[in-house]
Amino acid sequence: MCSTALYRIRRATRSPWLRVAAFYGAGVAAALATALGAPLIPIEIARSIGADAVDQILSVLATSMLPVATCSLSIMVQAYGGATSNVTPRAVTLLMEDTRTQNAVASFIGAFVYSVVGLIALKTHLYGDQGRVILFGFTLVVFASAVLTLVRWIDTLAHLGRVGETVDAIEEAACASIRGRAEAPYLGGLP
């Protein structure tokens, strides 16, 4: 029973939608948590950050992250199609479970959602002067994270869907399965 539950949890955590949902939720939570932390910021510091600075950075994030995420998804689909035709259709499952790819797309979508929610809250004056300071800090972190993810994503794209990389992933999965079988030859039963 326990191993079945663990297996299902492991399978669920490898699903692309779960990572996207987690980054989406984190983006919304970060944008809205800014309003709660606003009273903690001294008013003198709050007046030093203008609304235009945060607004422009959020606009850049909003206008750039959605096309990046869309382009990344189309590259993923092409890589899956290449693996299907060049290696084996079963390899697509292994490629779809690649956490680097899932994290990249999920972080791009999360940054987009964060920026849109931040812009909406900023335009509706939810934050005030003090909230803008926190929003500015969060925005800089999200921006730096998006740039870092983009750089790592470029490296991942150099290998995504290549025959050699796909064969290596198949070999690794097969070896792990054989090792697991060798470690439990009776599958938990008595000989």
Q: pLDDT for 38-64, tens place per residue?
A: 777 777 776 776 657 788 888 998 899
Query: Side chain identity at 150, as an amino acid letter?
Result: L
Q: Read off the pLDDT of each residue in 169-190 and give the average, rounded to a whole number.
A: 80
Q: Read off the pLDDT of each residue in 23-48 and give the average, rounded to a whole number.
A: 75
Between 38 and 179, the more confident residue is 179
Residues 6+ positions from 165 with CB-CB distance below 8 Å: 159
Tokens coding 190: 């008595």
Tokens coding 100: 């680097």
Gyration radius from the chain CA atoms: 22
Residues 6+ positions from 178 with CB-CB distance below 8 Å: none
Judged by DSSP in three states, 54 sits in: helix
pTM (2 d.p.): 0.75
Distance CA 166, CA 172 (A): 10
Judged by DSSP in three states, 26 sits in: helix
Distance CA 98, CA 170 (A): 12
Contact (Cβ atoms closer than 8 angstroms) between residue 102 and residue 19: yes
Amino acid 148: pLDDT: 92
Contact (Cβ atoms closer than 8 angstroms) between residue 36 and residue 126: no
Contact (Cβ atoms closer than 8 angstroms) between residue 38 and residue 131: yes
pLDDT for 30 beyond 70: yes
Residues 6+ positions from 78 with CB-CB distance below 8 Å: 161
Q: Read off the pLDDT of each residue in 149-154 and give the average, rounded to a whole number.
A: 88
Confidence grade of residue 144 (pLDDT, cut at 50, 70, 90): very high
Amino acid 2: pLDDT: 62
